[in-house]
Structures are given as structure tokens and as C-alpha cells.
């Protein structure tokens, strides 16, 4: 893992470098292989701030800590990075280890006899309110649509229900009451 150290208005303590590198070596199992770490140490008026950001293919982990000396700030910030890395790793592996939904897995579907499946499948249902229209208008509307059946009320014969349907040979049939 590539680690970059930056010091602003302060000299880096050798113990800080050792703490960060040993903690990152321990986290190498949970961090991506191509991760890069950037450590920034900044001196304030009364304390020091250590900021660590670890960038990898799964995202960026960032933490900062303030303390009176570099070593305690480095230990605190590396503990925060370790907690973030473990949390993101368990979240990523937890999603992968979750069992697949039985709906999407045909192998777990219950096997049923073919007669029961065929009986349950039945015809496709559509709901449609029959509109009042003459036979010619219904025939024009049905010929331009892709429906298999058209239900309409004929105003000429006291609003009796009539059905237009497509036959298997491609012609159109009409069912009318006697």
C-alpha cells in the first residue's frame, strides 16, 4: 500500500510514521489491494491534528483527530480508520453472503403436477367497460388495434352486448345475441 505523509508547520515524529504503517499493514486484509493512504499532520496553536484518508476502489475512508502529541492523535485516527474499514468490509461481504431470493431461483420452486399448473393458468383476463358503438365503428376500431377481443354495446339493438374476436386464421368474427 502506498502511503504519503505531509507535515504542515511541524516535523514528523518517527513514532507517528511507525504507528500509521503498522496499523495499515494490519488493515491490509480488509482494505482493497490498490488502496492509497494520505496522512496530513497539521500544527495548531495548542494541539496537533492528524488526518488520514484511505482511497480504494470501494470508496474513501477519512478520519481526523486532535491531540497534544502526534502519537496519541495518530493512534486515535487509525482506530477510527480501522473501525470504518471493518464496517465497510462487513457490509460488502454481508450483501454477498445473503441467501438468494427463492423467487429468482427456479431450482427452489416447488414442483407441481402438470395438470394442476395447466388448470390454474387458464385464459388471460382483461377488464374492459363495453362502449356504445355501431358495428362499423367497432370493426374499424378493432381492426386497427392489437386486441384479441372487443366488447361493445350496439345502440341499434337496445344496447345488446356484442363481441368481435380474432380467429386463428386471421379473420374477424362477431358474436351477437339472437
| 151 DSSP β-pair partners | 163
Q: Considering only 13-17, 87-91, 171-175, which range has the smallest mean pLDDT?
A: 87-91
Q: How confident is the model at residue 123 (pLDDT cuts 50, 70, 90)?
A: low
Q: How confident is the model at residue 154 (pLDDT cuts 50, 70, 90)?
A: confident
pLDDT at 175 over 60: yes
What pLDDT is stored for residue 51 in this prediction? Answer: 95
Phi, psi (deg, nearest 5) at residue 121 = -60, -55
What pLDDT is stored for residue 77 in this prediction? Answer: 94
Average pLDDT over residues 151-176: 85
Residue among 74, 81, 73, 20 nearest 56 (CA): 81
Rounded to whole angstroms, how far apart are CA atoms 159 and 164?
15
What pLDDT is stored for residue 7 in this prediction? Answer: 92
Rounded to whole angstroms, how far apart are CA atoms 88 and 29?
13
pTM of the predicted model as reported, rounded to 2 decimal places: 0.51
Q: How confident is the model at residue 142 (pLDDT cuts 50, 70, 90)?
A: confident
CB hemisphere CA count around 8 (13 angstroms): 12
Question: Domains in the chain, please, with CATH?
Answer: 2-96 (3.30.160.100), 127-178 (3.30.505.50)
What pLDDT is stored for residue 152 in this prediction? Answer: 87
Average pLDDT over residues 21-35: 84
| 138-147 burial: b if 16+ Cβ within 10 Å, else e | bbeebeeeee
Amino acid at each position: 500500500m502506498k502511503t504519503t505523509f505531509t507535515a504542515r508547520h511541524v516535523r514528523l515524529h518517527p513514532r507517528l510514521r511507525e504507528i500509521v504503517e503498522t496499523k495499515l499493514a494490519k488493515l491490509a486484509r480488509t482494505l482493497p489491494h490498490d488502496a492509497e493512504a494520505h496522512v496530513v499532520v497539521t500544527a495548531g496553536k495548542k494541539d496537533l491534528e492528524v488526518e488520514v484518508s484511505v482511497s480504494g476502489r470501494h470508496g474513501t475512508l477519512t478520519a481526523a483527530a486532535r491531540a497534544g502529541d502526534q502519537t496519541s492523535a495518530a493512534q486515535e485516527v487509525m482506530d477510527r480508520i480501522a473501525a470504518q474499514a471493518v464496517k465497510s468490509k462487513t457490509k460488502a461481504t454481508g450483501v454477498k453472503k445473503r441467501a438468494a431470493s427463492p423467487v429468482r431461483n427456479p431450482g427452489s420452486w416447488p414442483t407441481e403436477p402438470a395438470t394442476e399448473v395447466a388448470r390454474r393458468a387458464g385464459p388471460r383476463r382483461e377488464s374492459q367497460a363495453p362502449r356504445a358503438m355501431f358495428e362499423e365503428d367497432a370493426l374499424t376500431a378493432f381492426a386497427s388495434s392489437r386486441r384479441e377481443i372487443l366488447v361493445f354495446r350496439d345502440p341499434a339493438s337496445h344496447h345488446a352486448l356484442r363481441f368481435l374476436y380474432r380467429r386463428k386464421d386471421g379473420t374477424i368474427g362477431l358474436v351477437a345475441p339472437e
